Structure 1
Amino acid sequence: MAEPAQRPPASAEGEAIAVSPVEKAAVEAVAPMPVPSPASDFFREPEALDPDEQGDLAAEHFDRMVNASIARLTQGVSPASLNRAYSDWAINLACSPGKQVELWQYAWRKAVRFGFYAAHSLAGHQTADLIAPEKGDKRFDDEAWTKPPYNLLVQSFLLTQRWWEKATTDVRGVSRHHEAVTSFTTRQLLDFWAPSNFLTTNPVLQKTTLEQGATNLLHGLENFAEDVEHRMTGKKPSRSRQYRPGREVAVTPGRVVYRNRLIELIQYAPQTDRVRPEPILIVPAWIMKYYILDLSPEKSLIRYLTEQGFTVFAISWKNPDSEDRHLGMRDYLDLGLNAALDAVGAICGADAKTHALGYCLGGTLLSIGAAAMARDGDERLKTVTLLAAQTDFTEPGELSLFIDSSQLAFLKDMMWQQGYLDTKQMSGAFQMLRPNDLIYSRLLHEYFFGVRADKNDLMAWNDDATRMPATMHAEYLEQLFHENLLARGQYRVGDRPIALTDIDVPIFAVGTQKDHVAPWKSVYKIHLLVDVDVTFLLTSGGHNSGIVTPVGHPRRIYQVATAHDGQHYKDPDRWQRETPVHKGSWWPEWAAWLVERSGACGMPPRLGNTEAGFPPLEPAPGTYVHRP
């Protein structure tokens, strides 16, 4: 049983704040960490420095101010990083005459074929297209695009796009990273000039404008003005306000039972007369609000778990501001995961081991915490579940295009000035991974067709983004994303490195087929990093939609198989070919897995434990979820 925590006086708002033993120790500690992190000099102050060091620091601050100003214009993309990638490509292409001849020949052949195609098409003859859009590209699906001159615009655009794809790939001598950056960036530039994006070249938009007497353009102008207002004032769009935490979403009943400067811990009320003795602790990503797992009641994973007879706790992260710039990964581990486990143990009993679930970044944090706990002999965990969470970052998908030494320095300077990474900067990076779907298509429909897409609860949640403290995000990007220290066994917690092979509890890992943030084959690498039974489940959908898959979803499928410790490794492609496909939601599969590893049902614990220093405070969803 955890020792009772000291209760401080009420805050200025009249709310008592619980302090766990872990937080108390963190607050009382005054000695620096034995091994400083790479971001520990992020906010060096000039005091106690000699004149030469003060001059060096002033020069460094000036450089950071310049880079931060540039970052505002480039949306956080480093010009030096782009220049290095294109220089590598251009120099190696200049030294590859064979590749140049190949490109000239390809361009000549396609130009001749396009000439014949254009002549036949303008003469009114039916002619097979020279090139088809890629699978999933719906920009030119309307029949109007098949008639001249618009079909010529489409074919010319697609041929140009294909030529540049050949030109920026398979150039001998170009590094894989620079090739990926060059190809990706060139593709984004070309997509901007797609004929579907402009009134003068989009026949569908022209037809709509004529039929509606240009009122669609007026509605689009109103939408644009509304978006500018929201961006300048920081207010949520009215459509997002239809889904308010505690009213339309995040309505599963419960109470906040613990709060510190970084988290609120919510304990949910039981929905059954008897519950499993092992509680579930949910560690969500801090990049978005926690209620992704507690949306509308019919889409709430938290509600589903309580209905299955589990006691559920969830961490609600505070939305940090500039005053939290010094919070690092160690703080998120101590004041987040460890503090929450203290509270769960005090409420449910020290003998009740915890099923821990981590989602996205929360899953990475959970894997770090689980490895550290195993190293130190802490046996509070019963199982570990990782949802779309990476532990090996060698193949993290297209997000890696934004990460190299130059880009990291640029991001650090931007965060150094703000004290955090802003929500708009994060969402912009994610949108650039799928610009046709997330940027151009939306702008076209809202500003030219004048039609607002109806918001649902998931889309409204997506608008409710959070910031990330500068120190924590810099450490995460550098130590995990860039240097991959966790997978290499070199990530340090305290004064010693941790190894994922130390984890000694079963793992349930979930990947999603269309994940652009944590590609499922990257998530699958957990098989290579641990020495325990791993049950891996692959579900259809994306990073969020695949996880939020309620029972009864009509279009979801999944595959699941368990790799027992000691069995031979299956690569992900072979695993996908050989594993049976099931229809429906993956939630019941996971719930059954938890039941197999849980004890017999008994009486549910009470909400909170006042005697141990964890009294029930506000009703769920608490106060942190409402902070802008």
Structure 2
Amino acid sequence: MADQQGSTGDHPTHPDPNEFAHAMADIAERSQRLMNDFMRRQATGQMMPFGDPLNVSEAFLDMTARMMANPAKIMEAQFNLWQDYMALWQNAAQRWLGQETEPLVRPDKSDHRFRDDMWQENEVFDFIKQSYLVTSRWMLGLVHDLEGEESLIGRKADFYARQLVDAMAPTNFLMTNPEVLRTTFESKGENLLKGLEHLLADLERGKGQLRITMTDEQAFAVGGNIVNTPGKVVLQNRLMQLIQYSPSTETVHKTPLLIIPPWINKYYILDLREKNSFVRWAVSQGHTVFIISWVNPDETYRDTGFDDYLQLGPLEAMDAVQKITGEPQVNLIGYCLGGTLLGVLLAWLHANGQQDRVASATHFTTMLDFSDPGELGVFIDPETLDHLEHEMFERGYLDGAEMATTFNMLRSNDLIWSFVVNNYLMGKEPFPFDLLYWNSDSTRMPAAMHSFYLRRCYLENALKDPGTVSVAGVDIDLTTVKTPSYFLSAREDHIAPWVSTFRGAQLYSGPTRFVLAASGHIAGVINPPAANKYCHWISASRSKDPEKWLTAATKHDGSWWPDWAKWVERHAGGAQVPARIPGEGPLPALEDAPGSYVKMRVA
């Protein structure tokens, strides 16, 4: 693109005509190629084998039937909307006449879409904003009143109504977004041309499906400026690499620490940067830290099941850790799905008389009771799972991009529409952000494993019932677990709702400590003490009711990490021993951390 600054200084000029013509020709050629690819997939039936894979139509058909069966409710809702619009018109007329008025409705404080001053200062844009907020409030309220929150159909209708409301926000369109209009005027439309190039690049990257670029992926290198805590890979099998980290203290706790991360995402959320690395911090606290780095599976892992993840994951890793350190016990941490696997592991060890191999267990944002799976529940019903299993077993895995899209929909304004505005309307390059780089570093899910997990845990909620789920030849009974356990949950977690994680903690029969952090699934966990952010709640209450527990809890400022450090130290073996150097024990170093498995990216 030509430089937007002309010879007159700060006044923008038109883009260079030759560059503009070349850009448009390139866009036309790429668009034609994408359209041809789209038509080819349509002709060969490669788009979707089912017409409604997420079963959305049933939810809205049910809502339509309820509307027809309750015309009085609809008339009341319409009358209320009409009243709100009359009040809004009156309010707007007074502003146009120069009078001061109070807004009829304001956006939530956490809603960043209307930050531009023009949304408040300009009468027209203020009216557009309030009109949208009034209408969206009316629509969501009507859906909620008709469907309620009890049934899956109701939750699904509410979820997709919110997706529609978010998509129709005036901030998402050129003519109703003052910041985009201003940028378009100042750049003489160059932002839109650049945005179209970004859109085509994302469509090409997704092979015809939109895969929004959220960050500058060239700005980061795994093992370079991120994921760089020193260590060695000391074990490798077809499912994982085991990393042992280099000590930063002369002596260490006797009992080693093994971390089981989820395989829905890569482990390095726990080791992103020096300033926020839980791994590096745990090493500095005198722990001999090991972590599992899961493989990014392809179609050859089609039949890999939950049994395999247990046996080739923590069980084989524990054998290696105990061989390297010579210690009979380990302290274990499991994060999210890794925490669910940790619960299965503890019950499996107990059933095999090996429970003494674990000194303590820590669960980060872990669900063991899936009775309230939060908004992820809208994707879990028999029809949707039938479609998903058809796709997974046909290709051998669940594609990482599909998993990423699911999670992004849970926070669509932050993780979808903000990038539509920035990348496509404003024509800006994505900002380099390490967390979003990790978020876009997708992982696949083996078909057999993911089918088991979604059906047995989410759909049937069978894991909480003793003896109902069998893993690696053992009927799993979580109530037999007596291992001292620490449960960390996050109050605003939309993936593992804290009320559900609290209920799961009640399943164990041993001593448990439940701690509730502020913020969400990631920020609630990755909260180093030096940042002095957020807070957490601790309660001595033995109530099995989560709300009563919270009422009795004491709020503590800052990170929960120091509380966990004190707790786990009681299970760390007492005496200190000389620091253990990776590769100098019975298992030689295979390669430097972070290893090769974590660097395998989904194309």
The answer as to 2:327 corresponding to 1:354 is no
The SS at the match of 2:362 is strand
User: Are the structure 2 counterparts of residues 601 and 68 from structure 1 closer, same or farther at C-alpha, using a change threshold of 3 Å?
Assistant: farther
Question: How far did 1:434 drift?
Answer: 1.1
CA distance in structure 1 between the aligned counterparts of 2:439 and 2:568, rounded to whole angstroms: 29
| Counterpart for residue 26 of structure 1 | none
The answer to whether the 8 A contact 1:71-1:414 is kept is: no
Is 2:292 aligned against 1:308? no
Cross-structure match for 2:433:
456
Contact 2:216 2:430 in 1 (8 A): no
Instruction: Report the AA paired with residue 569 of structure 2.
Output: V
Task: Tell me the secondary structure at the aligned position of residue 577 of structure 2.
Answer: coil
2:588 corresponds to which of 575, 597, 615:
615
Map of 1:386 onto structure 2: 363
Aligned positions of 1:132-151 closer than 5 A: 132-146=106-120, 147-151=122-126
2:603 maps to 1:627: no
The answer on whether the counterparts of 2:233 and 2:244 sit within 8 Å (CA) in structure 1 is yes
Which residue, 69, 78, 87 being the options, matches 1:113? 87
Q: Deviations over 1:507-547 (max 9, x none)?
A: 11111232221122222223321122221222223211222
Residue 382 of structure 1, CA deviation: 0.7
CA 1:562–1:356: 2 relative to 1, 3 Å: farther
Does the Cα contact within 8 Å between 2:518 and 2:536 map onto a contact in 1? yes
Q: Which residue of 1 aligns with 2:140?
A: 165
Q: What aligned pairs does 1:185-264 form with structure 2 within 5 A after superposition?
A: 185-232=160-207, 239-264=216-241
Preserved contact between residue 148 and residue 155 of structure 2 (Cα < 8 Å): no
Cα distance between partner residues in 2 of 1:159 and 1:604: 62
1:398 counterpart SS class: helix
Partner of 2:534: 556
Summarize the alignment of residues 458-537 of structure 1 with structure 2, pairs less than 5 Å apart. 458-489=435-466, 490-537=468-515
CA distance in 1, matches of 2:525, 2:89: 49
- Compute the displacement of 1:458 (Å): 2.0
1:594 aligned to 2:568?
yes
Correspondence 1:439 to 2:416: yes
Provide the secondary structure at the position in 1 that maps to 2:531: coil
Say yes or no: does 1:363 pair with 2:339.
yes
Gaps of 5+ in 2: 1-41
For residues 585 and 206 of structure 1, do their structure 2 counterparts lie closer, same or farther at Cα, with a shift above 3 Å needed?
same
Cα RMSD between the aligned structures? 2.6
Q: Secondary structure at the match of 2:146?
A: coil
Answer whether contact 1:68 1:417 (CA < 8 A) is retained: no
Aligned to 2:307: 330
Distance across 1 between alignment mates of 2:423 and 2:499: 35
Aligned pair in 2 of structure 1 residues 71, 381: CA closer, same or farther (>3 Å)? farther
The answer (yes or no) to whether the contact 1:67–1:410 under 8 Å persists in 2 is: no
The one-letter amino acid of 1:321's match is D
Q: Secondary structure at the match of 2:359?
A: strand
Aligned equivalents of 1:279, 1:520: Cα separation in 2: 28
Looking at structure 2, the residues matched to 174 and 429 of structure 1 have their Cα atoms a distance apart, in angstroms, of 20
Secondary structure in 2 matching 1:509: strand
Give the CA deviation at 1:107: 2.7
Q: Is contact 1:110–1:159 with CA below 8 Å preserved after alignment?
A: yes
- Range 323-332 or range 439-448, more displaced: 439-448
SS in structure 2 of the partner of residue 149 of structure 1: helix
Residue identity in the other structure for 2:589 = P
Equivalent pair of 1:256/1:621 in contact (CA under 8 Å) = yes
Paired amino acid for 2:485: I
How far residue 603 of structure 1 moved from its aligned partner, in angstroms, is: 2.2
Aligned-partner SS, 1:582: strand
Q: From the superposition, tell whether residues 272 and 139 of structure 1 become closer, same or farther in structure 2 (CA, over 3 Å).
A: same
Structure-2 residue corresponding to 1:42: none
Q: Residue 533 of structure 1 contacts residue 562 of structure 1 at CA under 8 Å; is this kept in 2? A: no
Cα distance in 2 for residues equivalent to 1:376 and 1:343: 19
Deviations 1:385-437 (A, max 9, x none): 01111111111111111111111111111112221111110110111111111
Between the aligned partners of 2:175 and 2:214, the Cα distance in structure 1 is: 30
Identity %: 37
2:24 aligns with: none
Residues in 2 aligned to 1:619 and 1:235: alpha-carbon distance in whole angstroms: 32
**Helix, strand or coil for the counterpart of 1:625?**
helix
Q: Is 1:507–1:533's contact at 8 Å kept on the other side of the alignment?
A: yes
Alignment of 1:74-153 (within 5 A): 78=53, 81-146=55-120, 147-153=122-128
Residue identity matched to 2:169: A
Q: Of 155, 159, 171, which aligns to 2:130?
A: 155
What whole-Å deviation, never above 9, does each CA across 1:2-38 have from its counterpart, x for those lacking one?
Answer: xxxxxxxxxxxxxxxxxxxxxxxxxxxxxxxxxxxxx
Query: Is the contact between residue 539 and residue 550 of structure 2 (CA under 8 Å) also seen in structure 1?
Result: no
Instruction: Give the conservation status (yes or no) of the 8 Å contact 1:71–1:410.
Output: no
Instruction: State the SS of the aligned residue for 2:591.
Output: coil
In structure 2, the CA distance between the partners of 1:577 and 1:235, relative to structure 1 (3 Å rule), is closer
C-alpha distance in structure 1 between counterparts of 2:200 and 2:397, whole Å: 28
**Residue 179 and residue 149 in structure 1: after superposition, are their counterparts in 2 closer, same or farther (change >3 A)?**
same
Contact conserved, 2:256 with 2:287, CA < 8 A, in 1? yes
- Which gives a bigger RCO, structure 1 or 2 (Cα 8 Å, sep 6+)? 1
Q: Which residue of 1 aligns with 2:256?
A: 279
Choose which of 349, 353, 372 in structure 2 pairs with 1:373. 349
Letter of the 1:516 partner, please give it: H
Aligned residues of 1:230 and 1:237 also touching (Cα < 8 A)? no
Change (3 A) 1:476 1:311: same
More divergent stretch after superposition (245-254 vs 166-175): 166-175
Q: How many residues align?
A: 554
**Aligned AA for 2:187?**
Q
Amino acid at match of 1:521: V
For 1:541, the equivalent position in structure 2 comes to 519
Q: CA deviation at 1:202?
A: 1.2
AA matched with 1:265: L
- Larger mean Cα displacement after TM superposition, 65-74 or 377-386: 65-74
Alpha-carbon offset, residue 353 of structure 1:
0.8
- For residue 253 of structure 2, give the secondary structure of its aligned residue in structure 1: coil
Unaligned runs of 5+ in 1: 1-64
Q: Distance in 2 between matches of 1:274 and 1:321?
A: 41
Change in 2 beyond 3 A, CA 1:172/1:474: closer
Residue in structure 2 matched with residue 574 of structure 1 by the alignment: 548
Say if 1:326 and 1:445 are closer, same or farther in 2 by CA, change over 3 A: same
Give the match for residue 7 of structure 2.
none
Deviations 1:65-124 (A, max 9, x none): 9999454898xx625x21222222222332223423322332332233234234334444
Three-state SS of the structure 2 residue aligned to 1:141 is coil
What letter is aligned with 2:393?
W
Task: Tell me: CA distance 1:205–1:181, structure 2 relative to 1, closer, same or farther (3 Å).
Answer: same
In 1, Cα distance between the equivalents of 2:600 and 2:220?
15
Letter in 2 for 1:380: R
Contact 1:283 1:363 in 2 (8 A): yes
Q: Check if 1:408 corresponds to 2:381.
A: no
What's the CA shift for 1:355? 0.5
